[in-house]
Amino acid sequence: MVEKAFSSDSISYLTQREAAEVDEMLMGPTLGFSIDQLMELAGLSVASAIAEVYNSTEFKRVLAICGPGNNGGDGLVAARHLHHFGYTPSICYPKRTQKALVAQLDSLSVPFVEVEDIVGSGLLNDFDLVLDAMFGFSFRGAPRAPFDELIKNVAFLSKEREKSDGKIPVVVSVDVPSGWDVEEGDAGGEGIKPDMLVSLTAPKLCAKKFKGVHHFLGGRFVPPAVAGRFNLCLPPYPGSAMCVRIGKVPQVDISALRVNYVSPELLEEDVEADPMDQFQKWFDDAVAAGLREPNAMALSTCGKDGKPSSRMVLLKGVDKEGFVWYTNYESRKACEISENSNSAIMFYWDSLNRQVRVEGTVEKVSEEESLHYFHSRPRGSQIGALVSNQSSVVPGRHILSQLYKELEEKFSDGSLIPKPKHWGGYRLKPKLYEFWQGQPSRLHDRLQYTPEETEGKKGWRVVRLAP
């Protein structure tokens, strides 16, 4: 079920005093949280929120500037998790109170940099993301050295961003933008203007003045006793997430959405002679990369009217003969295939910057093959296939639900659900393959395979296509 959007107007905000009281209650005798526990979860939330918005390819070089208190501790923990997530963090930690966290980062060879190294252009040129973990809810008055300079330098980044289109590191603040009054916000208007704020436990009053694009909540450890006592109204965390977005989803300029692909080169001498072996290799990579549905592919068909149509289907088998998927033999795609067997399938493996195109002719698989696969499916999906006259018009969802219920009842004894005659598999026999690997500046690698016969021996010719 899709959860109702949480209205950002109903979120509660904490005063500085309440924030400290929440802290005391969490760590008091009844709940007994240790600061290490809370800090670990807070830091993990921050790292998760960053990973949700800023990917580790484009925003690899992270600088965590950590203050002397627990906000700084959150920054150190977040940096450690970011390291494990594939980022390359560096740390600026002028007052090193958290010895264990420092040792853990040392053990991962995460470098510590001096204040002098990052004031000035260092901050601008050497990093993609600056994590502001200098001060949290216990900050008061004017920042003392060396944090005064550090805050000025981070604030400078926001000013630069307003002026230029160039690559300026993004700024992510932990709990409270450092130097801001915890309740009033950026009083003088000259402070840090973070692009992202990760409020912990519950947002502090100053978060109302946050103007950046990404506001997240982290610290998924607030028990009902704390929420009740402080009247906390907070959005639910989805699934097993460590963070949740608060406030509006940012409006994006679609025309400006682009990723600069960075990948290992795909060279003629590195690919398999048989494109099916190459496909298998890339498919294994897609599985290893943890993609959710590496077998999802776009299938394009074109009937005799010459008007192509596309839809996603799931690859359910692949061998020397071709690519197999299952569907309804009376669907639109089936009609088009019956009129014209020339079809194309396409895989896009987002996080690998890879696309595979395959073109060929389509045939039905044997009835035995379809039967065998049909009965391997969950019983619910088998009933689903009986219910759905795929691609026909249905007066309303209730019709499907009603029929499903009836059939569920009918087969509740566990008896065999007969495969409908009109349900089965197709196999695309490839005549052309193209393997595409995204590269910087749109100079991608494209290797195309077409069949060729040399001295009576069947093989494949590989050519490189211009990107």
Ligand X SMILES: NC(=O)C1=CN([C@@H]2O[C@H](COP(=O)(O)OP(=O)(O)OC[C@H]3O[C@@H](n4cnc5c(N)ncnc54)[C@H](OP(=O)(O)O)[C@@H]3O)[C@@H](O)[C@H]2O)[C@@H](O)CC1
39 binds ligand X (CB under 6 A): yes
Rounded to a whole number of angstroms, the minimum distance from the CB of residue 234 to ligand X is 13
Rounded to a whole number of angstroms, the minimum distance from the CB of residue 242 to ligand FMN is 27
Rounded alpha-carbon distances, angstroms, from residue 303 to 239, 306, 325: 43, 6, 19
Looking at 388-461, list the stretches that DSSP marks H as alpha helix, in order from N- to C-terminal side: 397-410
- Nearest residue to the partner ligand PLP, using Cβ: 381
Q: Output 142 or 394, the one with its CB closest to ligand X.
A: 142
Letters for 263-302 (x = contact with ligand PLP by CB under 6 A, - = none) are ----------------------------------------
Q: Output 96 or 422, the one with its CB closest to K ion.
A: 96
446 binds ligand PLP (CB under 6 A): no
- The pair of structure tokens assigned to 236 is 């639910």
Rounded to a whole number of angstroms, the minimum distance from the CB of residue 183 to K ion is 15
Q: How, if at all, do strands 214-218 and 317-319 pair?
A: unpaired
Please classify residue 21 by burial: count the beta carbons closer than 10 Å to its beta carbon, then call 0-12 exposed, 13-18 middle and 19+ buried: middle
What, of K ion, ligand PLP, ligand FMN, none, does residue 296 touch, CB below 5 to 8 Å by kind? ligand FMN
173 binds K ion (CB under 5 A): yes
Residue 220 annotated among the catalytic residues of the structure: no
Which of the residues 58 through 87 are near ligand X (CB under 6 A)?
67-74
**Widest CA span in the chain:** 85
Catalytic residue, from 17, 229, 442, 461: name it: 442
377 binds ligand PLP (CB under 6 A): yes
426 binds ligand PLP (CB under 6 A): no
Phi, then psi, of 275 in degrees rounded to 5: -60, -25
Cβ pair 452, 421 in contact under 8 A? no
- CA–CA dist 332, 245 (Å, integer): 40
What, of K ion, ligand X, ligand FMN, none, does residue 178 touch, CB below 5 to 8 Å by kind? K ion
Sign of CA dihedral 274, 276, 279, 283: negative
178 binds K ion (CB under 5 A): yes
315: alpha, beta or left, given left = phi > 0 and alpha = psi -120 to 50?
Answer: beta
45 binds K ion (CB under 5 A): no
Looking at 133-212, list the stretches that DSSP marks H as alpha helix, in order from N- to C-terminal side: 147-163
Residues with catalytic roles: 442
